[in-house]
A and B are shown apart, each in its own frame.
Chain A
């Protein structure tokens, strides 16, 4: 069987990666690991976009979207990691449970 010439293979793989990332975001409490899980989910969405673009090749909308998602993800990581640094200075911890100043 020829692998990778059918869109279902890519969507299956992207679903698996997205699920792993979502579970990681929900179950881990380390903010760094949660940010990495967000990156996993963004990457899986990029994979589906490029795969669907391969099926609708006349316009390159899927690859354009993936390109902009990469740019936005880079911006998100820069700001997110700066916030993590500042949070660590404030609480000496990277556990997301510690971010409870706005509770009540």
Chain B
């Protein structure tokens, strides 16, 4: 067993254990830790594949941002975040059928790959997957997609703030007091309590 083989075996075991923990954990915090384990394992596999830059990105973005975001949200929700397995409902028939179909398809794929011919890798040059190589490729040939990705991230951050902020609690309490929420959109401004005064103030 060479060190590379040991790295692959350890990382593969870590990935599978983490993935199983994500799916089976009752507590979502444990699921997030399983996700973290899988991500670190995949970063190790990236190293085995001579993709050092992507391994660093994987750790930075996934372990440093995505998992932390998950943990923040789970802690923000408190004990309400874990009411999934604790609920007495059994998985529905459609869920069982979908799970069985996916399991069969995955097993079929595994078998096909396992019994196929092997395709070994060629020897990689030392610069393969380095920061200089990937960065040069991105900024020489992929500059427009890169800039579009930055725009996407900016829009996503603005959208996340806009969605998560919601309405202030006082405003929501006022909205709850109004008698029929479905009729509210059809009602003129005169029917709303306090709206006439607000309109007068605006003019």
A interface residues with partner B (beta carbon < 8 Å) = 1-13, 15-24, 26-30, 32-33, 35-37, 39-40, 43, 46-47, 50-51, 53-55, 57, 59-60, 63-64, 66-68, 70-79, 81-86, 88-89, 92-95, 97
B interface residues with partner A (beta carbon < 8 Å) = 2, 4-5, 7-9, 12, 15-16, 19-20, 22-23, 25, 28, 31-32, 34-35, 38-39, 42, 45-46, 48-51, 53-54, 57-58, 61-62, 65-66, 69-70, 73-74, 76-77, 80-85, 87, 89, 91, 95, 98-99, 102-103, 105-107, 109-110, 113-114, 116, 118-122, 124-125, 128-129, 133-134, 137-138, 142, 145, 149, 152-153, 155-157, 159-161, 163-164, 166
Residues of B contacting A22 in the complex (Cβ-Cβ under 8 angstroms):
102, 106
B39 touches A43 (CB 8 A): yes
Chain A residue at smallest Cβ distance from B43: A43
Residues of A contacting B73 in the complex (Cβ-Cβ under 8 angstroms):
32, 81, 84-85
Partner among A4, A10, A11, A57 whose Cβ is within 8 Å of the Cβ of B5: A4
